[in-house]
Structure 1
């Protein structure tokens, strides 16, 4: 019995098959918005802000609170470049007291290893801030910055505000409001390297090279204390995730979820730390 190839199939069958394929392609989510809309139909317990005026939303914080958080982030960003250049005028004293050879690699690394860490820190701090929130990374990295005996770790910690400070500003201010805040934040890493050598030379001349490190440690400790008070978490997905966890714990309903968790977003560190319900 002869077989019937595709060219001899009934035209009605072909039209019906084509129509089904088109319908399937139209029902397949093609964008992130479509994926969220499709998934939210399956999960009714969807956690979001209580209202557009929800005070837990960082953009609804008081004007004073938002400016305080902006100032703290800007100060973090100012201190890091300041400390990177402040030691430069004191290098001759460091070399003499520690018995280093003038012009040696060790002498140069005292200054440059701090900035070398700037190339490493942002690779991790940016993605980590979108998993664990801005506050934890900013405050935690600042503790590394205080360990001034380890210049590389100091530079590593100092790179965090440079990596995620802009994201914090975006968390706090709507696009039409953030001009002044972004100007203040952008000014900090420019003025730090300019003031650092002048301040370092003045301190090293009147005290000793050790006070170059003491002074930055004291100043950064003060900023750290201010940050503990004023710099609360600003990253909306982290705030909502905490809210969802509290609701899951209190209700026992494991279907409660946020949009961030719903999308199953993964970190940019190779997708090793997925967020999911």
Structure 2
């Protein structure tokens, strides 16, 4: 394959993966706009995010089977077309539930692009250069969710929320045309006709993972187990997941080959990838919300905060791939990545209400470096102990763990934010006493300011001053709860690090790690 054709192939399939990953986070900044435009509540509008995530989580682990069953080239191109058409339908939806339905279809098309794109990129490179392939694909994995809020903020600044979806149409068309030209069907090692559809396994998967995703996405807003349908879906999730594991381990033709998890390296990588997904998606979630709601940064400025870290991460991804090729042990790089991400979490936990844009850049660069150091080594670790025929399945499971980690992490921090807000508010309120001279002086000064500026009667001015004081307490309690949430995520990274002791360390001078992701 010529250098130009290789470049175009990689750019095409990575663009497909980036489109999918951008759509996991681009909608976050537009929920209030959609809510107002479609006449829906914010709770109903949030199903736009939930439906996409459910479809993603269901389709990712079965992409290996579907690509083998229908042919990887046809499945990949068909998924791009489905994603693009669903994007057009999302952009023209006239009500919230139509939009939710089209987002689910978009998620089915998009979820297939991640693992399939990864496979195509890896197979395009010779074994000695697959570390570079991992870095190139890692750029897409990292930058997709990161630039989503930035792109969404820019689109909302210049046009309507509809273009968050419509922007995918020209890109999807170009990627489809290039894929028809560039993507080849791999040589099959088994007959497609012999691949039976595991309908029972698929049913258990849809039940278990779909219900779990709804519980994670909606639990906090519905007060968890105080809501009947959350309790019911939790039971469905347990039954579905347990049934899925039992069936896939006992049936002759599983839709997801869970036996590959016997590989210790894949099992450890899956857990570490789950934690990395928590860090990747919760940081993209917490940072914009903290900056916009508490510090009142404009939407576009908030998105731009993430750009320097993303640019630095691109160089670190390439350096990481070269380090792996040079024989640096995988556990060493992963340990460094986990420690640097913890440093990001710790720095973010120190931010106050007086923080400006400049206070975000160093922590977010640390975030970018930390995630970049983890992306390539975790992929290499996941497949390093697998037979060639199992590598595609292992990669798909690892990608699913990243997405699940993101969903679990966001549910976890939302619950923790609510709990810590109540704790910090109570602690602050206990220090507000009518006998405290500082409190009475602050209240008197605020009352005078309100009376002077708004011309209100003394009694109304006192009430307004009390409301402003209460608002200040809420603001400070919110800032402290976000500080705690960042520290909680960082703590999860530290807690996961001992798992690396279960992975045998490569000896100096050992052959560099290479990765192959053949579908068969």
Same fold (TM over 0.5): yes
Taking the TM superposition and a 5 Å limit, the aligned residue runs for 1:4-43 are none
Residue 90 of structure 1: SS of its match in structure 2? helix
Residue 157 of structure 1, aligned match among 109, 120, 126 = 109
Residue 260 of structure 1: SS of its match in structure 2? coil
Q: Tell me the residue number matched to 1:84.
A: 24
Kindly indicate which of the two structures has a greater share of residues assigned to helix. Answer: 2
In the aligned structure 2, how far is the partner of 1:267 from the partner of 1:162?
A: 23
Residue 253 of structure 2: SS of its match in structure 1? coil
Q: Tell me the residue number matched to 1:236.
A: 187
After superposition, the Cα gap between the structure-2 partners of 1:228 and 1:157, relative to the gap in structure 1 and judged at 3 Å, is same
In the aligned structure 1, how far is the partner of 2:69 from the partner of 2:193?
A: 12
Size of the aligned set, in residue pairs, is: 188
Residue 209 of structure 1: SS of its match in structure 2? coil
Residue 132 of structure 1, aligned match among 57, 62, 70 = 70
Q: Tell me the residue number matched to 1:122.
A: 60
**Structure 1: tracts of 5 or more residues without a match:** 1-60, 238-258
Deviation per residue, 1:140-189 (Å, 9 max, x gap): 01122121221011111111121222322333222212221221112102
Residue 178 of structure 1: SS of its match in structure 2? helix
In the aligned structure 2, how far is the partner of 1:114 from the partner of 1:272?
A: 25
Greater C-alpha Rg: 1
Q: Tell me the residue number matched to 2:40.
A: 100
In the aligned structure 1, how far is the partner of 2:4 from the partner of 2:155?
A: 34
Contact 1:141–1:160 under 8 Å retained in 2: yes
Q: Tell me the residue number matched to 1:23.
A: none
Q: CA deviation at 1:94?
A: 0.6
Matched, 1:168 2:120: yes
**RMSD, aligned α-carbons:** 2.4
Q: Tell me the residue number matched to 1:199.
A: 151
Tell me which stretches of 4 or more aligned residues in structure 1 moved more than 4 Å.
none
Residue 166 of structure 2, aligned match among 214, 227, 230 = 214
In the aligned structure 1, how far is the partner of 2:18 from the partner of 2:254?
A: 33
Q: Tell me the residue number matched to 1:266.
A: 195
Contact 1:73–1:185 under 8 Å retained in 2: no
In the aligned structure 1, how far is the partner of 2:128 from the partner of 2:105?
A: 37
Q: Tell me the residue number matched to 2:344.
A: none
Deviation per residue, 1:46-79 (Å, 9 max, x gap): xxxxxxxxxxxxxxx3333233222211111111
Contact 2:76–2:113 under 8 Å retained in 1: yes
After superposition, the Cα gap between the structure-2 partners of 1:97 and 1:268, relative to the gap in structure 1 and judged at 3 Å, is same
Contact 1:171–1:236 under 8 Å retained in 2: no
TM-score normalised by L of structure 2? 0.34
TM-score normalised by L of structure 1? 0.61
Contact 1:83–1:216 under 8 Å retained in 2: no
**Structure 2: tracts of 5 or more residues without a match:** 91-101, 199-251, 256-520
